[in-house]
Amino acid sequence: MRRVLRGLAAAAVATAAMTLLEVPIAGAAAPDQTGWWSTAQPASGALPNATANPGELEVAGSPAGPVAFAAVLYKVPSEQDGQSVDPTQASGTLILSIAPNSSTQGASLQVCPITSQWKAEENGAMTDAPKYNCPATPIAGQVSPDGNTVTFTLASSLMTQPGQFDLAVLPSGPAPFLVKFAKPDQGSMGVSAPPAAGGPTSGDTGASPPEATTPLTPATALAGPTLPPSGAGLSASIPTDTPLAAAPPPAPAAPAPASPSLGLRRAGHASGWTKERQQQVMSVGLLMAIAAALWWMGGAAQRAPRLLGSLGGRKPEAQAAAVRVGGVGRFARPRTAAPRPI
């Protein structure tokens, strides 16, 4: 039992160390743009949207192909929880909730990267729908057991532009179905991105370039300082009777205008003590406390079990002192004292 408890304590310490060393940078995002298009719409805006509520997305499939499909655009921010991240290497999890007036019965869904520009539109015509290119291995959606959500796992390779998940939600099979998604909210996309590489420091902005210097060679060292080509320098050093006029004060130098094309700004210092880090430290502290308790329990001396019932009140009987038996055959007797001399 002691070995089991101490083994559990060691496992808790190892888990705490792994949790402390692991620093994920994750966040949630709302879509920057959504839309859906249908073959039932002959032209842009010709028929009113009578099938889905405002903000909802509709996807429908048939043996002939998509009857309706949707599109979502998520732009990964360059900073999450106070830390700079690399949006081009981000991965995500897209979770679309089913609208109250719909179901996922018979639905088979996938997401494909969009390869053309598009604008937000509800019940738009297929002629206005964006183009897409589905990968060889479909990114299929996983329907939750209760049928309320559909989840898509997104890799960074699905980005058609750096830092953007521009995706079309499409049917992935010939089975006919119709599903409506609720308006995607802030928690519809979970994004995880690696930390960004170190950028320029605050001392790099606004610094003047160093002045150009002439390398010193033996020839220039022997020649001495170079005099100006005109005689103004010599005439100024010769005393004359004519008083010299005071030189006008130099005009203040005008500040150089900042280049509008660079758009540089002072980089802010991002603190690494984020909310997720605090939760990790609290989890590690709790695991360490559990490990210490298990270790103490494994090292404590175990008490003998208590007797129950009628045996519980008895005192243990004193064992009789060992008595030596002496003699041979029928003359064997317990010998509690030394034999008498003959």
Q: Is there a contact between 89 and 156 (Cβ–Cβ < 8 Å)?
A: yes
Nearest to residue 90, comparing CAs of 134, 140, 26, 142?
A: 26
* Residue 167 φ/ψ, nearest 5 degrees: -130, 145
pLDDT at 191: 85
Prediction pTM value: 0.52
What element of type H or E holds 288? helix 275-299
Over residues 104-150, the pLDDT tens digits come to 888 999 999 999 999 999 989 999 999 999 999 999 999 999 999 99
Sign of CA dihedral 310, 314, 318, 320: negative
Of 57-71, 224-238, 317-331, the least confident = 224-238
Over residues 108-121, the pLDDT tens digits come to 999 999 999 999 99
Over residues 49-76, the pLDDT tens digits come to 667 888 999 999 999 999 999 999 999 8
Confidence at 281, pLDDT banded by 50, 70, 90: confident
